[in-house]
Amino acid sequence: MKLDKPVPGGPCWTELGTDDLTAAKRFYEELFGWRTVTDPREDAGGYTMAHLGDAPVAALTPLYQEGQPVAWNVSFAVADADEAAQRVAEAGGTVLVGPTDVFDVGRFAVALDPTGAAFQLWQARTFPGAGLFNAPGALGWVELLTRAPERAESFYTTVFGWSVNSSAHYTQWGIDGADFGGMTTMDDKFPPEVPTHWLPYFAVADVDISAATAAGAGGTVLMEPTSVLHGPRIAVLRDPQGAVFGVYLAGDEG
C-alpha cells in the first residue's frame, strides 16, 4: 500500500479470530517471524499482540462470540467511532458490535457492509494501530471480495470518502489517491458458500518460500504463487484453523 502509517479512513490494523490460539501463534511465528505477547489481564480475553521488532503489526484472539468464524478481520481508522457507525447505518450497512471502549487504547465497532463483508472501525486513543506497514511480515494491502461491486463502491466511498482507481481488470481503493487496497468481484469460480469478505495481504521477502513454509506448517496454498500482470507476485493461503490471508512480494506495493 502507498500508506506507511494509520491515517483516517485507511486500514490501521488486522486481527485474527481463531479457535486455537496456541496453534495460530506457532504457525504465524514460523511463517512471518512474529513475536507474540498475550495480554495477561482477565478482561483482555486472551488478546495477543504480534510484533516485528518493537513494532506491533497484528493481533490474534480467541473467538469471542458464538457463531464467530475463524477469520482475519480488517480495521479502518476513524476520528469518531460513534459518528462513523452512524454513517455505516445511514449508507445501508449494519453495526454488529459497539461502539465500545477498549480500556484506554481506543474505541471500536464491528460492522457489515451492504454486501455482507465484516470490518471494524477504530478510533485511536493511546494505540493508533500497526507500527509498521509494507515490510516483510507486516500488513501491506487489503482486498474486498464481493458479489456486488457497485453497491460496495457506493457504500465505502460514502462512509470513508475513499478515492477509486478502476481499470478493466481491478478496482483500487485509496485515500486522496494513495492506494491501500482493492476490490475483486466474486464470480462463478468462488463456491456459493464462500461469503463476501475482506482479505489482508502481508508482505514477504519471497512469495514462493512463504507458500512452501505455510504448507509445511500445516497450512494450505489456495492460490499458488502467481505474478499478476502489471502487479506483484502473490499467493493466497489458509492457516491450519481455516483463516484465509494473502502474501505478496515486499516492495511491490499498490
CATH of the domain at 115: 3.10.180.10
Residues 157, 89 within the same domain? no
Structure confidence at residue 65 (pLDDT): 82
For residues 230 and 253, what is the distance between their CA atoms, to the nearest angstrom? 12
For residue 129, tell me if it sits in a domain: no
Residues 111, 183 within the same domain? no
Residues 119, 143 within the same domain? no
Say what angle helices 149-160 and 81-90 make with each other, to 10 degrees: 150
Residue that finishes a domain, picked among 61, 90, 124: 124
Diameter of the chain measured on Cα atoms? 50
For residue 133, tell me if it sits in a domain: no
Number of separate domains in the chain: 2
Give the DSSP letter of residue 189.
Answer: T
* Strand locations in 116-196 (E): 118-124, 139-146, 163-166, 171-175, 178-185
Q: Pull the grid cell for residue 241.
A: 484453523
Give the DSSP letter of residue 128.
Answer: -
Q: Pull the grid cell for residue 49.
A: 499482540
How does pLDDT run along the chain (254 residues), one tens digit per residue? 999 999 999 999 999 999 999 999 999 999 999 999 998 888 888 899 999 999 999 999 999 888 889 999 999 999 999 999 999 999 999 999 989 999 999 999 999 999 999 999 999 999 999 999 999 999 999 999 999 999 999 999 999 999 999 887 789 999 998 999 999 999 988 999 999 999 999 999 999 999 999 999 999 999 999 998 878 999 999 999 999 999 999 987 65
Structure confidence at residue 134 (pLDDT): 97
Residues 28, 118 within the same domain? yes
For residue 156, tell me if it sits in a domain: yes
pLDDT > 70 in the chain, percent? 99
Q: Pull the grid cell for residue 16.
A: 485474527
Cis peptide, bond prior to residue 136, ω within 30 of zero: no
Structure confidence at residue 169 (pLDDT): 79
Structure confidence at residue 133 (pLDDT): 97
Residues 86, 172 within the same domain? no
Residues 192, 239 within the same domain? yes
Q: Pull the grid cell for residue 159.
A: 462512509
Residue that finishes a domain, picked among 77, 101, 124: 124
Domain that holds residue 116: 11-124
Residues 15, 119 within the same domain? yes
Structure confidence at residue 253 (pLDDT): 66
For residues 127 and 111, what is the distance between their CA atoms, to the nearest angstrom? 20
Residues 15, 118 within the same domain? yes
For residues 195 and 12, what is the distance between their CA atoms, to the nearest angstrom? 23
For residues 173 and 163, what is the distance between their CA atoms, to the nearest angstrom? 6
For residue 114, tell me if it sits in a domain: yes
Three-state SS for 17-43 is: EECCHHHHHHHHHHHHCCEEEECCCHH
Q: Pull the grid cell for residue 215.
A: 504448507
Residues 115, 180 within the same domain? no
CB 11 within 8 A of CB 180: yes
Structure confidence at residue 254 (pLDDT): 58
| CA proximity to 183, closest of 219, 154, 142 | 142
Residues 199, 171 within the same domain? yes
Residues 81, 45 within the same domain? yes
Residues 115, 145 within the same domain? no
Residue that finishes a domain, picked among 124, 150, 171: 124
For residue 130, tell me if it sits in a domain: no
Structure confidence at residue 41 (pLDDT): 87
